Amino acid sequence: MVVGVPKESFPGERRVALTPSVIPSLTKAGFTVVVEAGAGTAAGYADAEYEAKGAQLLADRREVFAKADLIAQVLCYGSNDRTGKDDLPLMRAGQMLLGFLRPLGAVETVSEIAAAGVSSFSFELMPRITRAQSMDALSTMATICGYKAILLAADTLPRLFPMLTTAAGTITPARVLIVGAGVAGLQAIATARRLGAVTTAYDLRPAAKEQVQSLGGRFLELPIEAKDAQDARGYARAQDETFYQRQRELLGRAVAESDVVITAAVVPGRKPPVLVTREMVERMALGSVIVDLAAERGGNCELTRPSQMVVEHGVTIIGYINLASAVPYHASQMYARNLTSFLLHVFKKGQPEFDLSDEITRETLVTQGGEIVHPRVREFFSLPALPTQGTKKV
């Protein structure tokens, strides 16, 4: 089975799907790896390193698609809404695709992948179970985003993060508020604490309190209770507008008292809730910073502009997307390990055969045989249910 790694084509994307260090594990398991020349350069991985580990370099992107049984990417068509469609003519029926697909984004995109006869696997749909932890690329990238968000905030804030006692007097520590204590939020807490900031976090899920406190953060408790705060997969559930309105009222004071606010509240498949309003921003001190990790899907702050840094009412609001790409060396390394674990689990001895009775395989498979086959994706787009499937050979 041939795994192909083309160069990422999304503008500014510096990651690569596989790094040289994982090639020996794949070749030992029966895979052959072909890599487009220059695919890892932006992430810090030279072509010579791939060749030294046993990968075959191909000069042309078309050749990679023509030779590969499975295409491994970071941003596949779907999550890559800029240039991803250019890869569609290069795909063929029976080929496989693995990476971030944004399967709950647009039905037209997923349908086009299905119509090409491609069997696609989406990392966004990886089940949050113990067996799948080593394959959870979504959580891996969220970890990097949480880390990078704090560094951006610290670099932008006109204050120091730690408390300092100097001959010129004592400097009080910065106050950081994290809204949304998922994977990204928890990493943001850990990073802010390491830099010396007083860190507070809020999440509507009760289970988050213990996680926040275990990292040395303070948990902000609001006198409001969410209904069914999280689903069976561990993700936050969307609430009604009445809840969000009350939540904004109660968060207002905490936001106003913070030097830095990191928002990371995302509900899969839905527009992020607005948690920080214009009025809340107006009450923040001059020079304060907001980093909105939900910017790509609209943002948790009313004034966020995706992909931009803006200043409103003296507050800097950072809406950069694709933050993980800003740390491409380790982001690629971690992603490659996730991807390799998935390949070794799903494709035994490098053979293109997989079992849909396995939860990991079943939950990540989006398209197959010209159809959108994932039940949750079909339900999200109001498509009729398909007959129950068993073991399939691609």
Q: 300-330: per-residue pLDDT in tens?
A: 999 999 999 999 999 999 999 999 999 999 9
- Environment class of residue 291 by beta-carbon count within 10 Å: exposed (0-12), middle (13-18) or buried (19+)? buried
Q: pLDDT by residue (tens digit) across 19-49?
A: 999 999 999 999 999 999 999 999 999 999 9
CA diameter of the chain:
74
Q: Where in the chain is the domain with CATH 3.40.50.720?
A: 2-125+327-393, 145-320
The pLDDT value recorded for residue 232 is: 65
Q: Helices 137-156 and 328-346 sit at what angle, rounded to 10 degrees?
A: 170
CATH topology of domain 2-125+327-393: Rossmann fold (3.40.50)
* pTM > 0.75: yes or no: yes
* Rounded Cα–Cα distance for residues 103 and 93 (Å): 19
Torsion (CA) 114, 235, 195, 283 in degrees, nearest 10: 100
HSE-CB at 355 with a 13 A cutoff on CA atoms is 5
pLDDT in tens, 263-314: 999 888 889 999 999 999 999 999 999 999 999 999 999 999 999 999 999 9
Q: What is the DSSP string of 234-299?
A: SPBPP--HHHHHHHHHHHHHHHHT-SEEEE----TTSPPPP-B-HHHHHTSPTT-EEEETTGGGT-
Catalytic (active-site) positions: 128, 133, 136, 139, 235
Q: What is the CATH number of domain 145-320?
A: 3.40.50.720
Alpha carbons 238 and 217: distance in angstroms, whole number:
25
Collapsing DSSP states into helix, strand and coil, what is residue 210?
helix
